Structure 1
Amino acid sequence: MTVSIVARDPETGRLGVATASRVLAVGVGVPHLRPGVGAVAVQAGAPRRWGTLALDALRAGLSAEDVAAVVGRLPGADAAQLGIVAADGGAAVVSGPRVEVEVSAAWQEDVCVAANLMEHPGVAERTVAAYDASSAQPFPARLVAALAAADEMGGDLRGRQSAALRVVDPATSSGETRSGRPLGGEVDLRVDDARDPVGELRRLWDLHRSFQHLLRAMNPDGLYEDLAHIEAALAITPDDLTTVGAAALALTRAGRLHDATPFLRRLAAEEPRTALRLRRLAASGRLDSAAAGAALQLLEDPPG
């Protein structure tokens, strides 16, 4: 079946769900989130529509515990599991007596974990402990770290197949926390089918962090320019071709062809159409013709 962690970041009000299971595309049906309202994980025998039902009830003013009580009285709830965290930090878990073992559930202010069909008991408690221990990390990273702790205990008895991470910002107009710090942006990462889905989810989270730096590296015309953010992206994902390409173009535009050379050569080695891209950038005026010509000449000359 599934293990899911549902949480709220009290500093930012962000809500998140991380989940893993031995089913195809667990991210399609388990996580349900609504900014400023709450987050819910729907698993085991619970119908997906119960996620919407639970969020509607939270929006109507019910507490997480009240919602769990309502869901627990629905037909079929004896075989269902739901993790519920409200926007005010209240948390609760529905875990019916007919959910397939090993079953565990744990909750405290701002976080809950629901697990079923696990190889070992105590997965939920271990997952919450890992979440608490990672408090110095960004909120999405904490969710992934907690999910990895569950995976290290064996995870789903049937094996591993998919994982997902979803995070939403609160419904605010300013885009900032009360302390004035910017929110982190929404995250929606899904591993639908993989041998190591939690490991792949970690890799995608790194790519997401790197991509956020690349977005900040762009000037108003959409051209890579801010080298500090590009260096930050390279520190996270040095082997990602998008990041390598951003470094190559930004350094070429800055007239630093010597520094751009290793990035240009690597990009051309892995993407043979790099020269065509440079010519089109020059033709469109998005890269200085002289800089493009120098880069093209460099690619034509053998290394040495």
Structure 2
Amino acid sequence: MRSLTISIFLTLLLSSPGLCQKPLSIPVSTYSIVARDPATGEMGVAVQSHWFSVGSVVPWAEAGVGAVATQSFVDPAYGPLGLELMRAGKSAPAALNALVSTDEDKAVRQVAMIDAKGRAAAHTGSRAIFAAGHHVEKQYSVQANLMDKPTVWPAMAKAFESAEGDLAERMLCALEAAQAEGGDIRGRQSAAIVVVRAVSTGKPWEDRLFDLRVEDHPNPVNELRRLVRLQRAYQKLNEGDMWLTKKDFAKAIESYKQATTIVPDKATNGEAAFWVGITLINDAKQVDEGIPYLVRAYRQDSRWAELVTRLPAVGLLPDDKSLIDRLTIAMKKKEN
């Protein structure tokens, strides 16, 4: 019954007019990687291009299902349709073959897919602009077109396989290797990264671990790396908030402190340090330990001192004028 259902679904899907039938006149020539981390099951896409807002077109991913990169003379429909087919039970190679086989303009397409089991597949059309090609292995595929030279995607594969860290880090290394090898012959403009969980939580906003775009920048991959690092810090801040709601102050403080070590205070305008200090003072009753963090925040923006005066009204600091005065005076000391 399941195979019959999928067969009917495919027939209806692929016979519908307009699906993968008409190319867009948008040459999103680029290099990208689709990959899965076998240790965590996380899946993702990372991409860079000399085209504005590449992240709005190329990368597609869904927790528990798979990831798709659609590029060259791009048809964005490959993204949602590829995910739909994999969600219905098709492997990435089968899903890609089903869509390419019905595409009248497959010669100008470049598409890669990976499913939740790590099965990857790629298609580079015969009319993709030189240098163009792909390299597929278990757990990932790298693909590129309109490159400076045909060594770009092999360099991506080598970098991804040798890199350490989580999936986001390894995919960033692949993008950096592509650029170091010459990258897009037209230059560089935008980049994006999407990473999703191995299994869906049923809450899409929690399933996306990274969903970041650099729309227009002279060095988009470097900027993307900065944003990934910043998001790691905010993930720790969110983790701290979660522990705080559970009244586990020790774990909350640990998470908040970790956030302050990932990026400098300037990167968050002092916010990470500020909330470490407030949590130490309000919840852990460690005033002396909390004050230096408030001082660090004040060095970035003097308005943090004003915010301190507003927190007692919402229960985030004791309603104790002597304590509030002590905190704001310490923050404003000239030697700070």
- Per mean C-alpha deviation after superposition, the further-off stretch among 140-149 and 216-225 is 216-225
The alignment's TM-score, normalised by the length of structure 1, stands at: 0.88
Which deviates more from structure 2 when the two are superposed, residues 215-224 or residues 113-122?
Answer: 215-224
In structure 2, the partner of 1:179 is none
Find the aligned partners of 2:93 and 2:296 in 1 and give their Cα distance.
55
> Is 1:292 aligned with 2:324?
yes
CA contact (8 A) 1:71 1:77 kept: no
Alignment partner of 2:245: what SS? coil
CA distance in 2, matches of 1:27, 1:222: 38
Higher relative contact order (CA 8 A, sep 6+): 1
After TM superposition, the structure 1 = structure 2 runs for residues 225-240 of structure 1, keeping only pairs within 5 Å, are 226-239=252-265, 240=268
Q: Which residue of 1 aligns with 2:184?
A: 156
The question of 1:202 aligning with 2:225 is answered yes
* 8 A Cα contact 2:119 2:138, kept in partner: yes
TM-score (norm 2): 0.80
Alignment-mate amino acid for residue 237 of structure 2:
L
Unaligned runs of 5+ in 2: 1-28
Structure 1 distance, partners of 2:140, 2:308, is 49
Matching residue of 1:58: 86
Q: 1:152 to 1:184 in 2, by over 3 A?
A: farther
Q: Say which is worse superposed, 232-241 or 1-10, in terms of deviation.
A: 232-241
Give 1:282's match in structure 2, choosing from 287, 312, 315: 312
* Between structures 1 and 2, the one with greater helix share: 2
> 1:271 and 1:279 mapped to 2: Cα distance?
15
Task: Give deviations 1:201-247, integer Å, cap 9, x for gaps.
Answer: 11111111111211222311799863322222122113332222223
Question: 2:167 corresponds to which residue?
Answer: 139
Which sections of structure 1, spanning at least 5 residues, go unmatched?
176-182
What is the CA-CA distance between 1:96 and the residue it aligns to? 0.5
| Residue 98 of structure 2 is aligned to residue 75 of structure 1 | no
Native 8 Å contact 1:237 1:243 kept in 2: no
* Cα distance, 1:83 vs structure 2: 0.9
CA 1:207/1:76 → structure 2, altered by over 3 Å: closer, same or farther? same
Partner AA of 2:150 in structure 1? P
Aligned Cα root-mean-square deviation (Å): 2.5
C-alpha distance in structure 1 between counterparts of 2:311 and 2:50, whole Å: 45
Q: Distance between the aligned counterparts of 2:218 and 2:255, measured in 1?
A: 33
How much has 1:261 moved relative to structure 2? Answer: 4.2
- Work out the percentage of aligned pairs sharing the same amino acid: 33
Which of 205, 210, 233 is matched with 1:187 structurally? Answer: 210
Q: Is the contact made by 1:24 and 1:193 (CA closer than 8 Å) also made in structure 2?
A: yes
- Judge conservation of contact 1:238–1:244 (CA < 8 Å) in 2: no
Q: 2:124 is matched with which residue?
A: 95
CA-CA distance at 1:256 after TM superposition: 4.4
| Higher mean C-alpha deviation, range 266-275 or range 117-126 | 266-275
Residue 269 (str. 1) matches residue 299 (str. 2): yes
Q: How many residues align?
A: 296
